[in-house]
Amino acid sequence: MRTRFGWALRAPAQDPEAAALQGISITMTARIAMFIGAELAGIAGALAAPRAPRWGQGDCSVVKFPGLILSVRFL
C-alpha cells in the first residue's frame, strides 16, 4: 500500500481508534473500499458472463469450469 488511500484503508483495520484520531474517516474509507470491490466484481461478472452456461440449454456441468472449483476451494 503505497498510496495515501492505501494507508487510510489499512489503518482502521489495524487500529480504528488511532486511525480516527489521525483524522481518517473510517466509514468513508469502508464505503469507498466496498464500492471498489463491487465495481471489480461487476467487471468480473461482465467478463465471465459470455462463458457462463445458458441454463436449460444443454449440459451445465461444473466440470467445464475448473476455475469455479478452484475459487470455491480457496474460500
Q: Which residues contact 64 (CB under 8 A, 6 or more apart)?
A: 53
State the pLDDT at residue 46: 83
CA distances from 29 to 5, 23, 35, 51, 65 (A): 8, 11, 10, 34, 35
Distance CA 56, CA 58 (A): 6
Cβ atoms within 10 Å of 9's Cβ, excluding its own: 18
- Segment-wise mean pLDDT, segments of 10 residues, the chain, 75 residues: 84 91 91 90 83 59 57 50
pTM of the entire predicted model: 0.60
Q: What is the pLDDT of residues 50-69, one digit of tens each?
A: 776 665 555 555 555 556 55
Kindly state the helix (H) or strand (E) to which residue 16 belongs, with its residue range.
helix 16-21
Name every residue whose Cβ is closer than 8 Å to that of residue 1 and which is 6 or more positions away in sequence. Answer: 7, 9, 10
* In the chain, where the domains are located: 4-73
